[in-house]
Amino acid sequence: MASAWKGGKVVSPLDGGWLPVAPSAVPFNPADAPPLALDAAGIQKVISDFKHAARRALKAGFKVIELHAAHGYLLHQFLSPLSNKRTDEYGGSFDNRIRLLLDVISAVQTEWPENLPIFVRISATDWVDGGWNADESVQLAVILKTKGVDLIDVSTGGLALGVKIPLGPGYQAPFAARIRRETGMRTGAVGLITTAAQSEELVANGTADLIFIARELLRDPYFPLHAAGELGVDVPWPVQYERAKPR
């Protein structure tokens, strides 16, 4: 467990943290203690935990769920050979490294209605030689399309330290475009997408089916309303704010 705004270091159990688990005992930061490599029972508990989380999400009224297999989180760790050094059925080959994600999807689908969407977020590349890459992302998308996944939310990176990523407006969108073009899977684009015009163009030109926005919503929580106005689309405002709606 690490806090990015407190130095990004692992919080030890003595300080109220806990020992993280991983596919292999490979720390994100070499200066940190290694995580606990999951055994067979631990993997089954992870699968069960995702299943029960889906059940709670449905009960709480959610209509869409997204499985986070990006940014160095556990499912991404299993996908990437940089963090997955296992020699059992969950490590080594491509088919073995994607096995946990597929098992989680199957378990979630036992709780999640078929008529409600399931998204999967991936990091299309680790930006590191020998890591998870765009070709594997396309290969995974082909499989996920047959498994009932409705959309892949295409991000990148987050698994390795010191990576030089070519940041710029919409810098991850080409990965979403490639997956969509080569597999027919619906995709979501994300990453330094900050304007209504930029978002509209990415959908209009076939790069992606959806746009995911994060930091711009932190800067402007009313971005959807402002974007609608900019694009000339009349959308309902919260009734409490209707008197402030531009006419």
pTM: 0.93
Q: What secondary structure does DSSP assign to 8-55, as a single string? A: SPBPPGGGT----EESSS--SSTTSPPPEEP-HHHHHHHHHHHHHHHH
Q: How far apart are alpha carbons 90 and 244 in whole angstroms?
A: 55
Specify the pLDDT at position 6: 66
Q: Which of 73, 90, 171, 222 is the catalytic position?
A: 73
Which residue in this structure is represented by tokens 């990965």? 175
CA distances from 83 to 10, 61, 86, 131, 150 (A): 17, 35, 9, 9, 27
Residues with Cβ within 8 Å of 194's Cβ and at least 6 positions away in sequence, in order, are 169, 213, 215, 216
Q: Distance between the two ends of the chain, CA-based, in angstroms?
A: 48
Q: Under DSSP, is residue 121 helix (H, G, I), strand (E, B) or coil?
A: strand
Residue 206, Ramachandran bin (φ over 0: left; ψ between -120 and 50: alpha; else beta): left
User: What does the pLDDT profile of the chain (247 residues) look like in tens digits?
Assistant: 556 676 777 788 888 888 899 999 999 988 888 999 999 999 999 999 999 999 999 999 999 999 999 999 999 999 999 999 999 999 999 999 999 999 999 999 999 999 999 999 999 999 999 999 999 999 999 999 999 999 999 999 999 999 999 999 999 999 999 999 999 999 999 999 999 999 999 999 999 999 999 999 999 999 999 999 999 999 988 899 889 888 7
CA distances from 235 to 31, 189, 209, 229 (A): 51, 23, 20, 8
Specify the pLDDT at position 58: 98
Specify the pLDDT at position 89: 98
Domains of the chain: 34-213 (3.20.20.70)
The reply to whether 73 belongs to the active site is yes
Specify the pLDDT at position 12: 80
Q: How far apart are alpha carbons 117 and 150 in whole angstroms?
A: 6
Q: How far apart are alpha carbons 121 and 189 in whole angstroms?
A: 10
Tell me the longest C-alpha to C-alpha distance in the chain: 64
Specify the pLDDT at position 18: 87
